[in-house]
Every structure is written in structure tokens, then in C-alpha cells.
Amino acid sequence: YGNFIDDLRLYVRGGTGGMGYPRLGGEGGRGGDVWFVAQERITLKSVREKYPLKRFVAGTGANSSVKALKGEKGKDCEVHVPLGISVLCDDGKQIGELNAAGERFLAARGGLGGSLATNFVPCKGQRRIVRLDLKLIADVGLVGFPNAGKSSLLSKVSHAKPEIANYAFTTIQPQLGKIMYADYKQILVADLPGLIEGAHANKGMGHKFLKHVERTKQLLLVVDISGFQLSVKTQFRTAFETILLLTKELELYKEELLTKPALLAINKMDLPCAKDNLNELMKQLQNPQDYLHLLEEEMIPTNTLEFKDIIPVSTYTGEGTEELKACIRKSIAEEAEQENEEYRKKKLLLLQTSE
């Protein structure tokens, strides 16, 4: 998966409490806690390089003494982690997540200091092994089969410089690019490694890829108008079949992915016969039910994706890229407006019920 690290296993331990003072009933200080704090411009790779031992232990609480009957709390240990992190136990159960800068998660609590309740003997801090699992956060995630032109599209609409070549799987790690608009508005786009048939069953980079799709607000499917064939051994797929296959893979992994707003970019419109293929594809997309008989049963998704916009583009000539940027912006704005409306309604409902 290249140099890109998307999960990290760490050992965390809260500090031990301080000793109590039985003769005067003094109480030892509590042990320090281990906190994960979300911070921008940090990657899991930089966390691993900074702390190669991957061990985080908080400070011990101060002992109770004649001078200070109540011992001071041990020093907390703060670990800065990237945004978009899920915190999992070693058994894979999610115990927390950090999505915005400044958010904190208590990874290991410090032990109590010695007191009357503990017979003046301090307690040890909580200890456990946790996994930090990164799911990229981006406004738009580019979804498509290898060689559909996702990387070329990203380089055309943003300032990213992904590797581009005419063979499958040039993108083996997620690339992030920002679309910059004239009024300084910025939209973050993630180019994700190419999906293949069977990705939901973890073929290829299946789960690693689909995991990142979960954390994008919207999907942008990129499809080659002339169809797609991964290798000589695999079947050729038309653009329509490609769209249904991508939908099927997303659906089998997690049905909720199909509820995300989606746009469709039809790439390589500079190729001969592209116009005819596009007319055919538009007919098929208007009434997908009439064409499902062309496919094998297991390829047909239960629900089809509803596209807010369908934009023909050519990353080679640049045709349609400006229109695509405008559509992405419009779609993001509409979604934000809808979220605000829902938030306002919730607030109003709370006010009414409290009255």
C-alpha cells in the first residue's frame, strides 16, 4: 500500500496513583491519563516516526506527605493524531472517533491514589492495546475501475500531482487534491485506488479502498465511455455495466454508501465513437430496468444510484472539466443547505418540546 499508513497499533497505559499516608489519612494523587487529540497536518506515518516504540504511558500520581496530604495528579500524556480517526479495541470494536481538530478521546484512565477506601494502597492505571484506523475525510471521493482516468481528472481539476500512466493500478494509495475556485472556496477531493470486481469480498485492495469511501461526503463515479477490461482473462464491461458493477460493489460492502449524493463523470469523450456510446449510455441510464437482462443475475444491484448530474468530460482535451467543478460545488452547497435545514428543524423541535 506504498508509504501510506492507514492503521496503527499502540500500547497505552494510564499512570499509577500515588501512595496514601495512613497515619494522617492523606490521599495519594491520581495517575495521569492518556489522551488522543485530533490535530490538522498530522499523519499516522508521522506518529509512527515520532514514536517508534508506539508506547504511551502517563505520569504517576504524587505520594501523600506531611507537606501535602493530597498528592498531585500525575502528568497526562497527549498524543496528537490526524483527523478522521476511528479508535478500536484490539478485538476490532470501535470505542471512539475523532473527526474535528481539537476533539479529544480518553484512551487510558489513570489509577486512583492510595486512600482510606483502598487501604492507602495506590491503584494501577488502565492499560490496553488500541488501533487507530484512518478513514480519509474529503468532500468528494472519486470512485471507478482502474484506468478510468481518475488520477488524470484529479490533476485537471485540482493542484494535486498524482502518478498517471496507461496501465491499471497506478494509484495504490489515496491522493488528496483541492479544487480552488476564483472566490477562494476550496473543496477537498480524494482519488482512491481503483476498485475491481469482488472488492466487497476484499479482493485487490477491496476493504482498504471501500473504507475510505465511507468518509467522503459525496461520490463522483468516473467511468470510461469506451468500457473497461482489466486483463485478457477478465470479461469486457461496457460503461453501463461498469456503473452497475461499481454500484453493486458499494452496496455489498455497505448499503448506506448508496445513500450518499453521487455525480457521474463520463471520461475519454475525445475518443472516436464516444458520442454514439454516450447517447446509448444515456438511454440505458434513463430506464435502467429495461437493460438489466443484459447482465448476469449476481451483477445486478438491488438499488441503483441516483446521479444528481451526469457530466461528459475529457481529461485529455480538458472538455467538461469546468462544468464538472461547477457541478461539484453546487452539489456540496445543496447538501450543506439541507444539513442546516435539518439542524434548524431539530433545534426548533427541541425548543417546542422543552416549552
pLDDT for residue 165 is more than 50: no
Q: What sign has the CA pseudo-torsion 244, 245, 246, 251?
A: positive
Least confident window among 114-123, 190-199, 208-217: 190-199
Q: What is the pLDDT of residues 248-290, one digit of tens each?
A: 888 888 888 889 999 999 988 888 888 888 898 898 888 888 8
Query: Which architecture characterizes domain 7-134 according to CATH?
Result: Distorted Sandwich (2.70)
Q: Which of 41, 110, 50, 118 is nearest to 82 (CA)?
A: 41
Fold of the domain built from segment(s) 138-339: Rossmann fold (3.40.50)
Per domain, the residue ranges of the chain are: 7-134, 138-339
Q: How far is CA 315 from the centre of its chain?
A: 26
Determine the Cα–Cα distance for residues 310 and 313; give it in Å rounded to an integer: 10
pLDDT for residue 203 is more than 60: no
Q: How far is CA 78 from the centre of its chain?
A: 23
Q: CA–CA distance from 186 to each of 84, 105, 178, 189, 328 (Å)?
A: 19, 29, 6, 10, 11
Determine the Cα–Cα distance for residues 248 and 255; give it in Å rounded to an integer: 9
**Cβ–Cβ under 8 Å, residues 31 and 59:** yes
**Cβ–Cβ under 8 Å, residues 115 and 70:** no
Q: For the chain, give the mean pLDDT.
A: 85
Parallel, antiparallel or unpaired: strands 104-108 and 34-38: antiparallel
Q: What sign has the CA pseudo-torsion 64, 66, 69, 72?
A: negative
Instruction: Provide the pLDDT confidence category of residue 160 given band limits of 50, 70 and 90.
Output: low
Place of cell 473527526: 99
**Cβ–Cβ under 8 Å, residues 315 and 264:** no
